[in-house]
Structure 1
Amino acid sequence: MTGHDHMPGHYGPGAEDHPLTATTDTWDAATARYALLKETPPARTRAMQKELVDKTIQDGQHLGELARDLARTGFKDPRVVAELERCADEALENDPRLAAELYAEALLAGGDEAAKAARRAQAAAATGDLDAAGRIADRLLAVPEAPDLRLGVDVASAVWAQRGMLSRSADTYSWLGPNRIDGSAPLAAVAMIGTGNAAAAEEFLAAAPPSGSPTLLAVALSLTQEGLRRTLGPAPELALPELIRASDMMNAAGTSIPLPETPGALAALCALHSGEPEVADTVLKAALAAGQGGDAARPRLFLLRAWSSMQQDNADDAILAINEALKANHWSLAPRDEFLLAALEVGLARRGSDMHELVLAWERAREAMMHVSVDLFSLLPWGELMITAARLRESRRVGHYLDNAWELLGRLGKPPLWSVPLHWAAVQAALLSEDPAGLAPHAAALVRASEHSHLASVLATGGKAWVSVLAGRFEASDVETAARGLAAVGMPWEGARLAGHAAAHADERRDMVKLLACARDIHPQSAAPPAGAAQRPEDARSSATAQPVMDFGNGGPGTPDTSGLSAREREVGRLILEGKTYREIGEAIYISPRTAEHHVARMRRRLGAENRSELLVRLRLALGEGYPPP
């Protein structure tokens, strides 16, 4: 079925005359009509078309499908333009793809390009065609006294946000100015707070006139900015209910307008940052069912559902949501969503202890991060990339992005709701990098935030437990409490990993068994320390449930060596591919960390690898057929 059949005002033939079910006679008639028109002089054709329009309007009928047919033949008439634009305006909310076609045909019929430019841009953006939407909006914003200017700014801002450059969204509203902001003030506030400029958001909100009738849409936008502002204040726990109500009202409104971020996405982000991924999933499910934000918003909502599933250690649901996101839009993913997808792939590979997939996902993420800038609504993926960069010894790749993130949070007064998960990521990165000096400020920040944030309290306890385990001085009961606390705030994988790692380092068998049981209880798939956790040989022998160190295939000591590496280097290489640190390598094969570092340096020279990432790929190839090619 074509979009034409859904055109408002259409009064054409019934289903039996639909082109897709046309008979041979119908096609013969169409061929004869085409031949007749081809032989008719153009002037006579135009006169007949005008006469047809006159007669249709005199009879009090809408031009309907006739207007489309006439426009496609190049017939120009203001009445045809008016009909097409009227129908396009009606279709814009619910069928932006049809609206885009109708606006284009109105131009063919002689319509003014600027008159409906903002709406044409909205239609293009709603279908995911960011390039077309941006070009139309650019031309509109350059026109003095442009019609529908505020709507054009809303579209331009939404396009910049989807491109991953929210600061440009805020700049667009700054260009418009508080004196012309009117009903777009809540949207401007979202963009400005998202880029760390809360003062400008307050200025725009203060300058906006009181909202008119309390429509569902107006209430949704008002609740959105109020909830987002609460996330920055001393009582962020009040923000989530407000943002959820904003999402509910937007769902009920059933309208799709250009937004820098949907209320559903903001509510979900707030829930994820609060340690409530189940709530995030519920909000996102409702937003998707209601079509919140239209087709353009669906990929992001699905990807956030995937993030919620990943955080709850449900990889299968995360992959299903990712697949839905990839199918949700006719166009390729917007850069903002592509970046979120790349971080998801990294997170899933890290939690799955798949070093080969992690390296490949990291390479894709490195590319994706170059297309976006840091904003408040992208801190979760940046935290995931910070941890992975530390594990792969690639922290320099994300350093300047993270500097921007900390600077942004500083401009907002370091709000705990947004800061705490990033501090936790920094703690994990510092542990992986064996960097006590880097860990200290983030651990202290979590302790300070504990006074006002339950999540911060849980994470501070978890961080303290990790430090005690790595130092070899811990109480099993304290570790279990910390691990179960992490699971309770939607981080079961992190909790199981902590308990499993502690089990591998327990001095007493009863403590090891207790911690392994805790890990299994939190994360049933983890019958032993997750792959990559250091495990002493005697511990592995003493537990019937303990998993072996991850085996990447052949290339053992008895295998003929074609890699150019010594037997010891091959052994070290396998441990490097498991993500172990120099200290963990030393513990596993009874050498000092410094000796392990020397082995790695020699391997890098022999294999011609210029950096760690390249070394990982070349090691995989050098160590035999059990290593899938990059």
Structure 2
Amino acid sequence: MNAAGLLDEARADPAAPLRAAVCAPGGYGKTALLSQLERLDDRLLLVDDAHRLDDVRLSELRAQAERPDARIVVAYRPWPRPDGLVALTDVLRRRRPPIMLPALTVTEIEDRVGAPLAGYVTALSAGVPGYVARLADALAGLPGDAPARVPAAALAPFASELGELDADLRTLLLALEAGAELSFDLIAKLLGRDPRQVAELVAAGQATGMLGTDGTMAPLARHALAALGPIAERIDVRQRLAGLQLARGGPVLPLVRHLLPEGGDPRPGPELGPAFEAAGEEALGDDPALAARLFAAAADAGRPAAARHALATALAGDLDRAARLADRAVADGLPAQRAESAYVSAVAMAHRGRLDSAAELLRWAGPGPAAGFRDVALTGAGRADEAGFDAAGDGPPTLLGATAALTARGVRESVTGSPTAALSTLVQAATLLEPAGAAVLLPDSPAALAAIVALHGADLDTAEATLDRAIRTSTGGSPLAARHLLLRAWSRMLRGHLGEAGRLLAEANGAGGPAAPGRDRLFATALRVALARRDSDPVGLRAVWPDACQVLISQPVDLFTLLPLGELTVAAARLGEHRRVAAHLAEADRLLARLGDPPLWSLPLHWSRLHAAILAGQATEAGRHADTLTRLAADHPYAEAPAAAARGWIAVMTDRIDPEQIESAARGLAATGLAWDGARLAGQAAIRTGDRKAMTWLLDCARALQGGRAAGERAEDGAAESATPLLSERERQVAALVVAGLTYRQVAEQLFLSAKTVEHHVARIRQRLGCTDRRELLTRLRELLADQTDGAPA
């Protein structure tokens, strides 16, 4: 029988005998049920909280219950169970088993508080009817949405209940509120009791309603203990639990995280130092910012945790602060902390683009992973002759040590051996490190280095696949998040997917990349320059150029920043600012010469300088770089496409255009992923040729390459398709030539129109597409023209 059945029986025959026991924890509605029975029949003998009565009174009630005509209902909690209560309930259960009052269901709670708040109330109350009532009353005057904090009115009734608890029971509840698991031996040591006594305390806690049958605490009760529990007792319980957990090797983070000093709080005492230190280690992998606070508290409490504080701060992404902390530890810390602090300082220097300084600090960091990463830094700085390459094997065979050794080997192979073997080795290193995810601090990630090698060799598919895995697994954590996104954006930019590259650049900005000093800011600024140049946006290019110059002048040249240097070199030529990059190009030449002019690393810079020379009208210089690319292609197949394209550009520059040669070179570039470069070569050749048939042929080639993206990669396909019919055939021809970079006068000459007519066509196109400025117009036209099957190319 349930409570409703009992009410029905009492209502059906007020004269019939009725005996019943009602058993439920506190807050489950025993008193409310008795009140309902009293309203039905005031001749019923109703007894509440029978577990609190003495044996004399319980004996009297048992005698009453044994009478044949007895009408008695006794309510009690499942604990304590005095002998008199057991005897009384034995009599009552002869007629029926005790009535157990259950927790409320979600539907019942929804009926009480409404659907919008039902989930919130259910989660907090664990279905305890009394807790549901407290929450419902507290939420009655508030807006419909769940509040961010538990209303104080819902917690206030707990104050008297907590004050009535036995001291040991309150200690047990405070221990569970602190995050201790319901471990009988741990709680027994905390209380100085045996496990049997702890079991009785747990039963007592369950009888209050605060603990469920599985020993977990109702969230509302947990909030009440946190808000209303005696502060001194809470701190004492947490401190003692932390000490016990440390002694047994158990987790302490849940126990001490709330003991971290805030703002003006006094420093923690030395007794908490070991617990803060251990908790910092527990938090390091999942929440380095919290770990940094814990290590700082441990250091304040007298523990030698300065190096770990610096490490956690670096993993949290604050490399500047980490460097300051590490520098102090290197100078003043204990010998055991200096190696780790030197490693953290080296990481900060590497991210700033200071590979020479990073290499020296890594030497102080000792053998193992630091030795492998030191070899990478030395090679990147052009000092490969100083690298040991086998030093990474001196330390223990850890995951990070193996990764560092593979990374060093791959970078060395990229300089002295096969680019294919180098890329394979670096990809293996990146894959090996993936299980470590965000928990490892790196001067650079093997995924980023593999991507750079792949980008230099125009293997864009491998670059993107490797970066995608690094982004998905958060390799290197916050410090490397922007780097992986920026390199991913660089690859998309090379493919000609400028919109996606811009989105990735913005995402990297959100990850802290472009705002940060060093190599991330250099790549980000070079990307902005590259996107403006490829968008045919001279105003945007000039706007970003001063920032680019400032970033470039603050960065030394190294092997891993030649890509942005090349892009800035082309932009400088377009703007007539070659002097801004001359010193860096000279340093790049010296660096590459020290490394033996490795073809993989030299080729993209020659390609960029070829374009810079063409833009500057320096035929001799352009020819020199074209000859170098041709010479490299003799021994390195990956150089064949840029070498053929270089010869094509020289032909365009000297007006000796062979359409078949140009088309072959342009398609060769596109086959390596450089579709934008291929389309530009074909388009510029079309502009320069005097043969109208060749012009049409080359424009068709450019259009095909510009539109040669996979369907899944096309930006806003549906919008492009719906917009295409808005343009006439003539307007599409004008649009294609404008996007190809021609001036209105050049478009007019190609189409045998007047410049004024071309201007009118462009104005109508802008109005029809709803574009407010030239940049938006060019972007919109590229998307539209890329999906066409006929007409002039972008």
- Tell whether 2:212 aligns with 1:212: no
Query: Does the Cα contact within 8 Å between 1:349 and 1:358 map onto a contact in 2?
Result: yes
Summarize the Cα distance change of 1:349–1:548 in structure 2 as closer, same or farther, 3 Å threshold: farther
Summarize the Cα distance change of 1:430–1:551 in structure 2 as closer, same or farther, 3 Å threshold: farther
Match of 2:288 among 80, 96, 101: 96
- Tell whether 2:595 aligns with 1:430: no
Match of 1:166 among 355, 358, 372: 355
Match of 1:147 in 2: 336
Query: Does the Cα contact within 8 Å between 1:53 and 1:63 map onto a contact in 2?
Result: no
Query: Does the Cα contact within 8 Å between 2:330 and 2:337 map onto a contact in 1?
Result: no
1:196-236 CA-partner distances (Å, limit 9, x unpaired): 1101113xx344554533x4433322221111111012322
Q: What is the correspondence of 1:119-130 to structure 2 with a 5 Å cutoff? A: 119-130=308-319
Gapped regions of structure 2 (runs ≥ 5): 1-147, 150-177, 182-210, 709-734, 764-773, 779-794
- Tell whether 2:430 aligns with 1:261: no
- Tell whether 2:386 aligns with 1:200: yes
1:321-364 CA-partner distances (Å, limit 9, x unpaired): 11221222599434321221111011011001011111112122
Q: Report how far residue 481 of structure 1 moved.
A: 0.9
Match of 2:423 in 1: 240
- Tell whether 2:691 aligns with 1:508: yes
Q: What is the correspondence of 1:19-30 to structure 2 with a 5 Å cutoff? A: 22=223, 27=227, 29=228
1:71-106 CA-partner distances (Å, limit 9, x unpaired): 525464444211111121122233211211111221
Summarize the Cα distance change of 1:58–1:503 in structure 2 as closer, same or farther, 3 Å threshold: closer
Distance 1:385 1:433 in 2: 14
1:527-575 CA-partner distances (Å, limit 9, x unpaired): 337444577467522599xx9589999xxxxxxxxxxxxxxxxxxxx9x
Match of 2:272 in 1: 80
Summarize the Cα distance change of 1:450–1:15 in structure 2 as closer, same or farther, 3 Å threshold: farther
Query: Does the Cα contact within 8 Å between 1:165 and 1:373 map onto a contact in 2?
Result: yes
Summarize the Cα distance change of 1:551–1:163 in structure 2 as closer, same or farther, 3 Å threshold: farther
Q: Report how far residue 11 of structure 1 moved.
A: 2.4
Q: What is the correspondence of 1:389-538 to structure 2 with a 5 Å cutoff? A: 389-524=572-707, 527-528=736-737, 530-533=739-742, 536=746
Match of 2:475 in 1: 292
1:462-509 CA-partner distances (Å, limit 9, x unpaired): 111111112112211111111111212222111111111111122222
Match of 1:589 in 2: none
Summarize the Cα distance change of 1:101–1:521 in structure 2 as closer, same or farther, 3 Å threshold: same
Distance 1:368 1:236 in 2: 30
Gapped regions of structure 1 (runs ≥ 5): 3-8, 38-44, 554-573, 579-630
Summarize the Cα distance change of 1:26–1:275 in structure 2 as closer, same or farther, 3 Å threshold: closer
Match of 2:306 among 85, 101, 117: 117
Summarize the Cα distance change of 1:550–1:211 in structure 2 as closer, same or farther, 3 Å threshold: farther
- Tell whether 2:321 aligns with 1:138: no
Summarize the Cα distance change of 1:196–1:79 in structure 2 as closer, same or farther, 3 Å threshold: same
Match of 2:563 in 1: 380
Summarize the Cα distance change of 1:315–1:349 in structure 2 as closer, same or farther, 3 Å threshold: same
Distance 2:513 2:527 in 1: 21
1:391-418 CA-partner distances (Å, limit 9, x unpaired): 0001111111121111111111111111
Letter in 2 for 1:155: V
Give the TM-score taking structure 2 as reference length.
0.61
Letter in 2 for 1:527: A
User: Tell me, what secondary structure is at the counterpart of 2:335?
Assistant: coil
User: Tell me, what secondary structure is at the counterpart of 2:336?
Assistant: coil
Match of 1:596 in 2: none
1:431-486 CA-partner distances (Å, limit 9, x unpaired): 00011232243223212211222232221211111111121122111111111112
Letter in 2 for 1:147: A
Match of 1:540 in 2: 750
Query: Does the Cα contact within 8 Å between 1:497 and 1:529 map onto a contact in 2?
Result: no
- Tell whether 2:374 aligns with 1:188: yes
Match of 1:223 in 2: 406
Q: Report how far residue 280 of structure 1 moved.
A: 0.9
- Tell whether 2:474 aligns with 1:313: no
Query: Does the Cα contact within 8 Å between 1:501 and 1:530 map onto a contact in 2?
Result: no
Give the TM-score taking structure 1 as reference length.
0.76
Query: Does the Cα contact within 8 Å between 2:306 and 2:333 map onto a contact in 1?
Result: no
Summarize the Cα distance change of 1:543–1:242 in structure 2 as closer, same or farther, 3 Å threshold: farther
Distance 1:454 1:550 in 2: 48
Summarize the Cα distance change of 1:49–1:362 in structure 2 as closer, same or farther, 3 Å threshold: closer
Distance 2:237 2:417 in 1: 70
Letter in 1 for 2:421: L
Match of 2:463 in 1: 280
Distance 2:395 2:509 in 1: 38
Match of 1:156 among 326, 331, 345: 345
User: Tell me, what secondary structure is at the counterpart of 2:516?
Assistant: coil
Q: Report how far residue 16 of structure 1 moved.
A: 5.2
Match of 1:339 in 2: 522
Q: Which has the higher contact order (CA 8 A, sep 6+)?
A: 1
Distance 1:188 1:552 in 2: 56
User: Tell me, what secondary structure is at the counterpart of 2:439?
Assistant: coil
Letter in 1 for 2:279: C
Query: Does the Cα contact within 8 Å between 1:255 and 1:292 map onto a contact in 2?
Result: yes
Summarize the Cα distance change of 1:450–1:240 in structure 2 as closer, same or farther, 3 Å threshold: same
User: Tell me, what secondary structure is at the counterpart of 1:147?
Assistant: helix
User: Tell me, what secondary structure is at the counterpart of 1:373?
Assistant: coil
Count of residues in Structure 1 that have an aligned counterpart in Structure 2: 523
Distance 2:513 2:742 in 1: 43
Match of 2:546 in 1: 363
Distance 1:359 1:471 in 2: 28
Is 158-167 or 511-520 further displaced after alignment?
158-167
Distance 1:57 1:211 in 2: 33
Letter in 1 for 2:422: A
Match of 1:593 in 2: none
Q: Report how far residue 56 of structure 1 moved.
A: 6.6
